[in-house]
């Protein structure tokens, strides 16, 4: 999971410095399958990020966060999008 987070962090920093990359990534939101389009652009830019890895990393991160609170209980509801690394990434680019 940390590898995905590291790659996303590096890509985000790069995109914030390069408006062309930033625009390419933001444009994926308008695609029919935004997540696949995003991952394709990531790979074109040299970041080996695939859809299922991204989804699983978000879910694992959220689960780890929940385990670290309330003694590991699962009694707090998930807030929509809080485990969605794609949406969090895009929100940071905007």
Question: Residues 25-62: pLDDT tens digits?
Answer: 999 999 999 999 999 999 999 999 999 888 877 555 55
Q: Which residues contact 13 (CB under 8 A, 6 or more apart)?
A: none
Average pLDDT, the chain: 80
What is the pTM assigned to this prediction? 0.73
- pLDDT at residue 52 in the model: 87
Residue with the larger pLDDT of the pair 20 and 94:
20
| Separation of alpha carbons 87 and 70, rounded Å | 26
Over residues 65-85, the mean pLDDT reads 55
Asked if residues 66 and 76 have their Cβ atoms less than 8 Å apart, the reply is: yes
């Amino acid at each position: 999971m940390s590898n995905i987070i590291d790659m996303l962090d590096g890509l985000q920093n790069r995109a914030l410095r390069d408006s062309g990359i930033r625009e390419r990534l933001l444009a994926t939101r308008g695609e029919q399958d935004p997540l696949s389009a995003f991952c394709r652009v990531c790979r074109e830019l040299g970041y080996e990020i695939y859809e299922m890895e991204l989804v699983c990393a978000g879910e694992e991160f959220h689960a780890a966060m929940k385990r670290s609170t309330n003694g590991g209980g699962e009694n707090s509801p998930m807030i929509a999008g809080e485990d969605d690394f794609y949406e969090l990434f895009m929100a940071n680019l905007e």
